[in-house]
Amino acid sequence: MNQMSTEGYTTADGRQIGGVLMEMKNITLRFGGVKAITDISFDIREGEIRAIIGPNGAGKSSMLNVISGFYVPQEGEVWFRGAKRPPMKPYQVAQQGIARTFQNIALFEGMSVLDNVMTGRLTHMKTGMVAQAIWKGAAEKEEVENREVVEKIIDFLEIQAIRKTPVARLPYGLKKRVELARALAAEPKLLLLDEPMAGMNVEEKEDMSRFILDVNDEFGTTIALIEHDMGVVMDLSDRVVVMDYGKKIGDGTPDEVRNNQAVIDAYLGVAHD
Amino acid sequence: MPEQLFFALEVILNGLMAGVLYALVALGFVLIYKASGIFNYSQGVMALFAAATLVGIMDGQVPFSHLINAIFGTNVHHFGWHIPALLGILLTMGVMVFLAWAVNRFVFKHLVNQEPIILFMATIGLAYFLEGLSDLMWGGQLKTLDVGLPQGMNATLDEVTFNLFGYGFFIDNLDIVASIVALILVVTLTLYSQYSKQGRALRAVADDHQAALSVGISLNFIWILVWSIAGFVALVAGIMWGAKSGVQFSLSLMALKALPVLMLGGFTSIPGAIVGGLIIGVGEKLFEFTLGGMMGGATENWFAYVLALIFLVFRPQGLFGEKIIERV
Q: Which of A119, A132, A134, A153 to mutate to test the interface with B (most CBs of B within 10 A)?
A: A119
Q: Give residue A194's pLDDT.
A: 93
Cβ–Cβ gap B216/A102 under 8 Å: no
Q: Which of A88, A107, A122 to mutate to test the interface with B (most CBs of B within 10 A)?
A: A122
* Residue B172 vs residue A214, higher pLDDT: A214
Judge whether residue A273 has pLDDT over 80: no
Q: Is residue B222 a contact partner of residue B153, using CB atoms and an 8 Å limit?
A: no
Judge whether residue B301 has pLDDT over 60: yes
Task: List, as one string, the DSSP characters of B65-100.
Answer: HHHHHHHH-----B-S----HHHHHHHHHHHHHHHH
Region B300-307: what's the mean pLDDT? Answer: 88
Region B291-296: what's the mean pLDDT? Answer: 82
Distance of CA B191 to the CA centre of its chain: 19
Q: Give residue B170's pLDDT.
A: 80
CA-based torsion, A137, A142, A148, A150: positive or negative: negative
Q: Give residue B322's pLDDT.
A: 67
Cβ–Cβ gap B204/A108 under 8 Å: yes
User: How many CA atoms does the CB half-sphere of A108 hold within 13 Å?
Assistant: 29
Q: Does the residue A196 lie in any domain?
A: yes
CA angle A190, B36, A139 (to 5 degrees): 60
| Chain A residue with minimum CA distance to B210 | A106
Cβ–Cβ gap A91/B210 under 8 Å: no
Judge whether residue A16 has pLDDT over 70: yes
Q: Does the residue A144 lie in any domain?
A: yes
Region B14-37: what's the mean pLDDT? Answer: 84
Q: Does the residue A4 lie in any domain?
A: no
- Determine the Cα–Cα distance for residues B134 and B144; give it in Å rounded to an integer: 15
- Determine the Cα–Cα distance for residues A256 and B2; give it in Å rounded to an integer: 94
Region B18-34: what's the mean pLDDT? Answer: 84
- From the list B57, B52, B236, B255, the residue with the least C-alpha distance to B149 is B236
* Residue A101 vs residue B5, higher pLDDT: A101
Tally C-beta pairs within 8 A across A and B: 90
CA angle B208, B212, B213 (to 5 degrees): 120
Q: Give residue B289's pLDDT.
A: 86
Q: Give residue A81's pLDDT.
A: 92
Judge whether residue A1 has pLDDT over 50: no
Give residue-wise pLDDT tens across range B226-261: 899 989 999 998 998 888 888 888 888 777 788 899
Region B115-129: what's the mean pLDDT? Answer: 92
Which of B198, B214, B325 lies nearest to residue A129, judging by beta carbons? B198
Give whichever of A16-20, B153-157, B291-295 has the largest mean pLDDT. A16-20
pLDDT level of residue A52 (50, 70, 90 thresholds): very high
**DSSP designation for A136:** -
Q: Does the residue A193 lie in any domain?
A: yes
Lowest-pLDDT range of A63-67, B69-73, B199-203, B317-321? B317-321
Q: Is residue A1 a contact partner of residue A9, using CB atoms and an 8 Å limit?
A: yes
SS3 content of chain B, % helix, strand, coil (to 5): 75, 0, 25
Measured in angstroms, the CA of B108 and the nearest CA of chain A are apart by 17
Cβ–Cβ gap B197/A125 under 8 Å: yes
* β-pairing verdict for A239-244 and A75-80: unpaired
Name chain B contacts of A122, Cβ cutoff 8 Å: 197, 200-201, 204, 215-217
Name chain B contacts of A107, Cβ cutoff 8 Å: 207-208, 211
Give whichever of A55-69, A256-270, B133-147 has the largest mean pLDDT. A55-69
Name chain A contacts of B203, Cβ cutoff 8 Å: 108, 110-111, 115
Judge whether residue A272 has pLDDT over 80: no
Name chain A contacts of B325, Cβ cutoff 8 Å: 168
Give percent above pLDDT 70 in chain B. 98
Q: Is B125 helix (H, G, I), strand (E, B) or coil?
A: helix
Sheet with A20-31, side-by-side order of all strands: A34-45, A20-31, A75-80, A83-84
Which of B191, B192, B201 lies nearest to residue A122, judging by beta carbons? B201
Q: Give residue B21's pLDDT.
A: 82
Q: Does the residue A101 lie in any domain?
A: yes
Judge whether residue A44 has pLDDT over 90: yes
Q: Does the residue A254 lie in any domain?
A: yes
Measured in angstroms, the CA of A109 and the nearest CA of chain B are apart by 7
Name chain A contacts of B267, Cβ cutoff 8 Å: none
User: How many CA atoms does the CB half-sphere of B61 hold within 13 Å?
Assistant: 20
Name chain A contacts of B207, Cβ cutoff 8 Å: 107-111
B318's torsion region: left (phi>0), alpha (psi -120 to 50) or beta?
Answer: left
- Determine the Cα–Cα distance for residues B104 and B96; give it in Å rounded to an integer: 12
| Chain A residue with minimum CA distance to B194 | A115
Cβ–Cβ gap B211/A127 under 8 Å: no
Give percent above pLDDT 70 in chain A. 92
Region A182-187: what's the mean pLDDT? Answer: 94
Instruction: Give CA separation, B8 vs B15, B285, B286, B294, B303, in Å.
Output: 10, 10, 8, 17, 18
Region B209-232: what's the mean pLDDT? Answer: 89
- Determine the Cα–Cα distance for residues B255 and B238; give it in Å rounded to an integer: 11
> What is the count of structural domains for chain A?
1
Judge whether residue B327 has pLDDT over 60: no
- Determine the Cα–Cα distance for residues B258 and B272; give it in Å rounded to an integer: 12
Name chain B contacts of A91, Cβ cutoff 8 Å: 212-213, 216-219
Looking at 3.90.79, 1.20.120, 1.20.1300, 1.10.3470, the CATH number of the domain B2-314 comes to: 1.10.3470
Residue type, B12: I
What's the whole-model pTM score?
Answer: 0.80
Cβ–Cβ gap A123/B204 under 8 Å: no
**DSSP designation for B172:** B
Q: Give residue A127's pLDDT.
A: 67
Q: Give residue A2's pLDDT.
A: 43
Q: Does the residue A173 lie in any domain?
A: yes
**Helix (H) or strand (E) run with residue A256 in it:** helix A254-258
Judge whether residue B168 has pLDDT over 80: no
Give whichever of A22-31, A256-265, B140-149 has the largest mean pLDDT. A22-31
Q: Give residue A23's pLDDT.
A: 94
Q: Is residue A250 a contact partner of residue A242, using CB atoms and an 8 Å limit?
A: yes
Cβ–Cβ gap A106/B219 under 8 Å: no
Give residue-wise pLDDT tens across range B55-100: 999 988 888 888 888 888 888 878 878 888 899 999 999 999 999 9
Q: Which of B214, B317, B322 to mutate to test the interface with A (most CBs of A within 10 A)?
A: B214
Which of A90, A110, A129 lies nearest to residue B214, judging by beta carbons? A90
Q: Which domain holds residue A165?
A: 9-268
Q: Does the residue A2 lie in any domain?
A: no
Q: Is residue B234 a contact partner of residue B46, using CB atoms and an 8 Å limit?
A: yes
For chain A, what is the mean pLDDT?
Answer: 88
Name chain B contacts of A123, Cβ cutoff 8 Å: 215-216
How would you class A198 by CB atoms within 10 Å of its CB: exposed for 0-12, middle for 13-18, buried for 19 or more? middle
Q: Give residue B53's pLDDT.
A: 94
Q: Give residue A3's pLDDT.
A: 45
Judge whether residue A5 has pLDDT over 70: no
| Chain A residue with minimum CA distance to B322 | A110
Name chain B contacts of A182, Cβ cutoff 8 Å: 215
For residue B196, give every residue at least 6 positions away whose Cβ sits within 8 Å of its Cβ, in sequence order, or none: A132, A133, A135, A139
CA angle B99, B63, B24 (to 5 degrees): 45
Q: Give residue A4's pLDDT.
A: 45
Region B118-144: what's the mean pLDDT? Answer: 90
For residue B138, give every residue at least 6 positions away whose Cβ sits within 8 Å of its Cβ, in sequence order, or none: B52, B53, B55, B56, B61, B63
Name chain A contacts of B217, Cβ cutoff 8 Å: 91, 119, 122
Judge whether residue A235 has pLDDT over 70: yes
A134's torsion region: left (phi>0), alpha (psi -120 to 50) or beta?
Answer: alpha
Name chain A contacts of B195, Cβ cutoff 8 Å: 135, 143
Judge whether residue B1 has pLDDT over 60: no
Region A98-108: what's the mean pLDDT? Answer: 92
For residue A254, give the CATH number of its domain: 3.40.50.300
Measured in angstroms, the CA of B206 and the nearest CA of chain A are apart by 8
For residue A52, give every residue at least 6 positions away whose Cβ sits within 8 Å of its Cβ, in sequence order, or none: A60, A63, A64, A224, A225, A226, A240, A241, A243
Give whichever of A39-43, B63-67, B273-277 has the largest mean pLDDT. A39-43
Give percent above pLDDT 90 in chain B. 21
Give residue-wise pLDDT tens across range B102-111: 999 999 888 8
Give residue-wise pLDDT tens across range A121-170: 988 887 666 666 665 667 778 888 889 999 999 999 999 999 999 999 99
